[in-house]
Structure 1
Amino acid sequence: MARKLKFNRGVFEQIRNLPEVRADLKRRGDKIAAAAGGEAMGYKVTELVLEDPRGAVSVMATGHAHFHNRKHHALLRALDAGRD
C-alpha cells in the first residue's frame, strides 16, 4: 500500500526563520566574502531581514571589489567556500 507524504508548510517557514539557520547563513556568507577578497577589498555581507518567509544574506561587491569581481568573477569562484 502506497502512502502519501504531506509536508507542513508552516513548520518549514518556522525552520527558515530560526536564529540558528540565520546564523549559519551569515557564517557561510562571511566565508564566501573572505574567499573572494575580504572586507578590506570591499566585499560585504548583509543580512536581509525583510525577506519573508525565510532568512537570507547577500554578499555584495562594493568599491574596488566591484571592478575586481567584474574582471575575475571572484564571487562565483568563492561559492565553494560557503559549503560545509
Structure 2
Amino acid sequence: MDNIIATTTLYKNYQLAIPKAVRNKLTDLTIDDTVIDWSINENDEIVIKPRKKVSLDDVLGIIEDDDSRDAVELKRSLYK
C-alpha cells in the first residue's frame, strides 16, 4: 500500500491544493513554471506528476538551420 503523507479536500469548482507536506518534499515545485500532469493507470488509479513548463530558452538551438536567407529578403521576394 502507498505511504500517505497528506490528504486534501476537493473544493468548489473541483479545485485542489497541493498539501504543504508534498510541497516541502518536492522542493523543485514553483508557481510560475510547474505544470501538473494527471493520468489514470490501468488499475483506475489517479497518477499526478509535476513537470517544468517548456520555455523558449529550452527549445532555442534544438533545430539547426543552414538556410542563409533572412526575413527581409524573403518578404521582398513575395512582392517581385
Q: Do the two structures share a fold, i.e. TM-score over 0.5?
A: no
Q: Which has the higher strand share?
A: 2
Report TM bin, short chain. Answer: 0.3 to 0.5
Q: Give the TM-score of the pair, scaled to structure 1.
A: 0.31
Q: Which has the higher helix share?
A: 1
* Bigger radius of gyration: 2
* RCO comparison, higher one (Cα < 8 Å, 6+): 1
